[in-house]
Chains A and B, each alone.
Chain A
């Protein structure tokens, strides 16, 4: 049987270069399209503006914050991807989605030549998590699909829990006042 030699050729499928932000969570590197991210903040700077929120069915969300009269949900990326829980230092606030993502650190900006489809063998939740895979500097890096952070049903559950929580805070404030 033929044993082929080592092949270091770059992936050759259709190329649509795009700018991405490379970030890491629990030693794992991910890429997200730069245009999907509205803002990067430290967790410290966001701390005072957040409210706690607990929904037992969605443990990856523990905090919310208000922006432009909209409630944003803070997703812990470690819990989202099933990685060991770390102490995140940064928040990626996404564009066009009421989601902010807790991450460990930003590695750098990069241009990826293409996003390659996730192999069909990956048939679970990862198909929702990733747009595909990027091949950059001899590394295969999953490219995040921002809508994968929270499903529509999860938004509905969180919106309901958030409203209840706000009502409760108002009542407690009224009693104390």
Chain B
């Protein structure tokens, strides 16, 4: 089964980014990993911050904060590991998050009008409205090939 054809059956992982929370369908989330070292090297994909090594695998790290918050998050505390599909292959992908994640069950509502394509719906949790993210649309929302080059840095 690929990440795209999984169904979340109303179960979502809530992740903290800055002062906001976003939701991903729980079916594509593998785990919450500690803030291990980020390894960076030159590449041309604007959204990728580098890679981490997790459970014997090299896992690409997607810095989605600039898209979702309009700025880079200051201090990532964890990496949420989610699966992204490439044809028939699923690849673990790490999303830096600022706090612990929470599992929530709720009925997904249609996204508010005018939301970007990567918002696939909305959850209402207490008085809070949480955007549900389409990971694939989110990572594709940045055009590739801008010649970005990252410098080596460590998050720990």
Task: Give the secondary structure class of A's interface.
Answer: loop
Q: Are A123 and B45 in contact (CB under 8 A)?
A: yes
Q: Which one of B54, B55, B60, B102 contacts A122 once the chains associate, using CB atoms below 8 Å? A: B60
| Cα–Cα distance between A2 and B13 once the two chains are bound (Å) | 12
Asked if B34 contacts A5 (CB within 8 A), the reply is yes
Residues of A within 8 A of B117 (CB): none
User: In the complex, are the beta carbons of A122 and B39 less than 8 A apart?
Assistant: no
Select from chain A the residue with minimum beta-carbon distance to B86: A120
B101 near A1 (CB under 8 angstroms)?
yes
For this complex, into which size category does the number of interface residues on chain B fall?
35 or more
- List the 10 closest A-B pairs by CB distance, nearest first: A124-B44, A140-B39, A121-B60, A81-B42, A126-B43, A82-B149, A12-B56, A120-B86, A119-B60, A142-B41
Inter-chain pairs besides A29-B152, A120-B91, 11 sampled, C-beta below 8 Å: A1-B31, A1-B100, A3-B33, A4-B34, A6-B34, A27-B152, A28-B42, A120-B86, A124-B145, A126-B43, A142-B41
Which residues of chain B have a CB within 8 Å of any CB of chain A?
Answer: 13, 31-34, 36-37, 39, 41-45, 48, 51, 53-60, 62, 78, 84, 86, 89, 91, 93, 100-103, 139, 144-145, 147-149, 151-152
